[in-house]
C-alpha cells in the first residue's frame, strides 16, 4: 500500500517532467519546511526530556563516528571507480555522508502510519549526522588548508537553517513538555502529514529539474546514487544493532545513513569548496537518491533492519 | 554637476555568496548596497531561484569610481573562476551625493 504523501511526490515529479508551470510559491515552501523541521524537533524534544541526557552521549559519539566514516567510504569509490576530480569526489562524498531532513520526515510518517516504535533520540542523531561529513568533505578536498575560513564554515554549518530549526524544535519540546505543547498541537502535529504532502509535491518538482542534468553525467552517477545509499544503510543498520536499538530505531538509523543531503551540504560546499561542480552532487542526491529513498528505499531499509535483528538480535 | 556623478556597480551572482560579498563590499569602502533576488540564464545555465541553493541575487552598489573599480577587481580575482558571476558598471547621477 503506497502512502498518499508519496503519491504527492510522484505527482510533483511527473508534473515537473511534463514541464508543467506548477510551482509552490517559494515563501510557502519555506514555511512548509520550517513547520516540518520544528515538528520533528519538538517530537524528539518531548521524548528526550524523559531520559537523562548523559546516557545519550556514547550513542551520539558512535553516530558521529558513522558520519565521519560514510564520506570516507564514498570518496574512494567516486575518485577511483567514478574517475571524478578530487574536489568533485569530495563534495559528492560529503553529500552522501550527511543526511536529508526530507527523507527523515518521510520516514517519521512511514513509522507512525504503521505504529512502529523507534528511539526518540533520532532527531538528535539527525543533527549529529549532518555535520561531520561536511567537515570531512572539506578536509578531503583541501586538506587542513589555511585558505579555509573555518570560523565561516562553522557558522554556515551550525547555524544553517535546517540545523537551527531542528535544535530550536528540540529545545522547545524539551523545555515545554507534552502538556504545554498541547495548545499548539493542532497546527504542528495534527497537520504533519498534510504539510509533508505539500513539501513532497514541491520536492517532486525540484527533483524533476535535476533528473534532466543526469544525462550529462553518465551511468556511473546513477549507479552510485542507488548503490551508495544501500551500502550506507547496511552500515547504519549495523550501527543501530550495535547500539541495541529496536527494529524501528535500527531502520531509522539505516534511513538516515542512506539519505543524502541536498540543502545544508550544497550551501556549505559552495562556499568552502567552490571548485566543485554543484550540479553534479545535486543531480545525484536530488535526482536519484532522494526519490529512490523516499519511494523504494525506506521499506527496503526497514526490511533490512528486521533481517539484521532476526540474525543478530537478542 | 560632476560631483553628483557616481558609479553604479551591479553584481549578479549566486545567492550562496551573499554574506561573503557583503563583507567584501563593506570592507572595500562602500557606504551601502541593495540586494534583490534574481532569475535568469547565462553561461553556467539557467538559475530558476526555485529554492535557496539555486538562487541568484543582484547586488547594486553606488560609490566613487575608485571604490567601485576596487570592488570590481577584487570580485573578479576572487570569484570569477568558480562562481557564476557577472559585473557591470555604469554612471549614475545621484540626488543626494552626501549619502555616497
pLDDT in tens, A255-299: 999 999 988 888 888 888 888 888 889 889 999 999 999 999 999
- Would you call A267 and B51 a contact, using CB atoms and an 8 Å cutoff? no
> How many CB contacts within 8 angstroms connect chain A with chain B?
35
What does the pLDDT average to over A139-161?
Answer: 78
Query: Taking phi first (over 0 means left), then psi (-120 to 50 degrees means alpha), and beta for anything else, what does residue A143 get?
Result: left
- Would you call B50 and A23 a contact, using CB atoms and an 8 Å cutoff? yes
Q: Roughly what angle, to the nearest 10 degrees, separates helices A264-272 and A150-158?
A: 170
Q: φ and ψ at A253, to 5 degrees?
A: -65, -35
Q: Pairing state of beta strands B56-63 and B34-38? A: antiparallel
Using CA atoms, how far apart are residues A103 and A109, in angstroms rounded to an integer? Answer: 10
Residue A262 CA, chain-centre distance (Å), reads 8
A9 CB burial (10 A radius; 0-12, 13-18, 19+): buried
Q: What is the CATH number of the domain that holds A269?
A: 1.20.1530.20
Contacts A269 to B, Cβ<8 Å: none
For A203, name the nearest residue in chain B, comparing CA atoms only: B51
Q: Residue A190 gets which letter from DSSP?
A: I
What does the pLDDT average to over A145-167?
Answer: 78
Cell 555535520 -> residue: A131
For B52, name the nearest residue in chain A, comparing CA atoms only: A263
Q: Select the residue of B53, B81, B82 nearest A263 (Cβ to Cβ).
A: B53
Using CA atoms, how far apart are residues A302 and A47, in angstroms rounded to an integer? Answer: 22
B52 touches chain A (CB under 8 A): yes
Cell 563583507 -> residue: B23
Contacts B82 to A, Cβ<8 Å: 274-275
For B44, name the nearest residue in chain A, comparing CA atoms only: A279
Which ranges constitute the DSSP H helices of chain B?
18-27, 65-79
Q: Is the pLDDT of residue A130 over 50?
A: yes
Contacts A29 to B, Cβ<8 Å: 51
B45 touches chain A (CB under 8 A): yes
A251 CB burial (10 A radius; 0-12, 13-18, 19+): buried
The question of ipTM being above 0.85 is answered as: no
Q: Which range marks the domain in which residue A195 is found? A: 4-312
Domains assigned to chain B? 2-90 (3.30.70.120)
Q: Is the pLDDT of residue A178 over 90?
A: no
- Would you call A270 and B16 a contact, using CB atoms and an 8 Å cutoff? yes
**Residues A209-246 pLDDT 10s:** 888 778 778 889 999 999 999 999 999 999 999 999 99
Q: Would you tell me how many other CB atoms lie within 10 Å of the CB of residue A55?
A: 9
- Would you call B17 and A266 a contact, using CB atoms and an 8 Å cutoff? no
Q: Would you tell me how many other CB atoms lie within 10 Å of the CB of residue A306?
A: 16
**Closest approach of chain B CAs to the CA of A282, in angstroms?**
10
Q: φ and ψ at B24, to 5 degrees?
A: -60, -50
Q: φ and ψ at B41, to 5 degrees?
A: -140, 145
For residue B75, what is its C-alpha cell? 570580485
Give the closest residue to A66 by CA, choosing from A120, A131, A140: A131
Q: Is the pLDDT of residue A125 over 60?
A: yes
For residue B44, what is its C-alpha cell? 553556467
- Would you call A26 and B48 a contact, using CB atoms and an 8 Å cutoff? no
The tally of domains found in chain A comes to 1
For residue B53, what is its C-alpha cell? 541553493
Position B8 scores a pLDDT of 96
Using CA atoms, how far apart are residues A299 and A2, in angstroms rounded to an integer? Answer: 11
B83 touches chain A (CB under 8 A): yes
Contact predicate B12/B86, CB 8 Å: yes
Q: Is the pLDDT of residue A1 over 70?
A: no
Contacts B83 to A, Cβ<8 Å: 274
- Would you call B50 and A267 a contact, using CB atoms and an 8 Å cutoff? no
What does the pLDDT average to over A45-74?
Answer: 90
Amino acid at each position: 500500500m503506497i502512502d498518499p504523501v508519496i503519491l504527492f511526490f510522484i505527482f510533483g515529479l511527473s508534473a515537473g517532467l511534463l514541464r508543467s508551470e506548477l510551482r509552490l510559491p517559494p515563501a510557502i515552501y519555506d514555511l512548509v519546511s520550517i513547520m516540518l523541521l520544528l515538528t520533528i524537533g519538538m517530537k524528539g524534544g518531548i521524548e528526550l526530556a524523559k531520559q537523562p541526557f548523559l546516557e545519550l552521549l556514547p550513542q551520539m559519539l558512535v553516530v558521529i563516528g558513522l558520519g565521519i566514516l560514510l564520506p570516507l567510504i564514498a570518496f574512494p569509490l567516486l575518485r577511483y571507480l567514478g574517475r571524478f576530480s578530487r574536489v568533485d569526489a569530495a563534495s559528492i562524498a560529503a553529500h552522501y555522508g550527511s543526511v536529508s531532513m526530507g527523507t527523515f520526515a518521510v520516514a517519521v510518517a512511514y513509522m507512525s502510519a504503521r505504529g512502529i516504535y523507534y528511539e526518540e533520540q533520532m532527531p538528535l542523531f539527525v543533527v549529529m549526522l549532518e555535520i561531520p561529513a561536511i567537515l570531512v568533505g572539506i578536509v578531503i578536498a583541501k586538506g587542513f588548508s589555511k585558505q579555509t575560513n573555518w570560523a565561516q564554515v562553522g557558522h554556515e554549518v551550525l547555524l544553517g537553517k535546517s540545523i537551527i530549526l531542528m535544535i530550536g524544535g528540540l529545545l522547545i519540546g524539551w523545555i515545554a513538555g507534552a502538556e504545554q505543547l498541547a495548545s499548539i498541537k493542532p497546527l504542528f502535529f495534527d497537520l504533519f502529514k498534510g504539510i509533508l504532502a505539500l513539501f513532497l509535491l514541491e520536492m517532486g518538482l525540484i527533483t524533476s529539474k535535476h533528473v534532466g542534468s543526469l544525462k550529462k553525467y553518465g551511468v556511473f552517477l546513477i549507479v552510485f546514487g542507488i548503490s551508495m545509499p544501500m551500502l550506507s544503510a547496511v552500515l547504519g543498520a549495523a550501527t543501530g544493532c550495535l547500539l541495541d536499538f529496536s527494529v524501528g530505531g535500527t531502520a531509522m538509523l539505516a534511513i538516515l545513513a542512506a539519505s543524502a543531503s541536498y540543502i545544508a551540504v550544497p550551501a556549505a560546499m559552495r562556499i568552502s569548496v567552490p571548485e566543485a561542480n554543484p550540479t553534479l552532487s545535486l543531480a545525484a542526491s536530488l535526482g536519484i537518491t532522494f526519490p529512490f529513498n523516499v519511494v523504494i528505499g525506506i521499506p527496503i531499509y526497514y526490511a533490512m533492519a528486521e533481517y539484521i535483528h532476526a540474525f543478530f538480535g537478542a | 554637476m560632476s560631483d553628483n556623478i557616481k558609479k553604479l556597480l551591479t553584481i549578479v551572482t549566486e545567492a550562496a555568496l551573499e554574506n561573503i560579498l557583503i563583507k567584501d563590499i563593506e570592507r572595500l569602502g562602500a557606504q551601502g548596497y541593495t540586494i534583490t533576488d534574481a532569475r535568469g540564464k547565462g553561461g553556467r545555465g539557467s538559475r530558476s531561484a526555485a529554492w535557496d541553493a539555486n538562487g541568484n541575487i543582484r547586488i547594486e552598489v553606488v560609490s566613487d569610481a575608485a571604490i567601485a573599480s576596487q570592488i570590481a577587481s577584487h570580485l573578479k580575482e576572487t570569484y570569477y573562476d568558480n562562481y557564476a558571476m557577472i559585473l557591470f558598471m555604469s554612471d549614475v547621477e545621484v540626488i543626494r551625493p552626501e549619502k555616497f
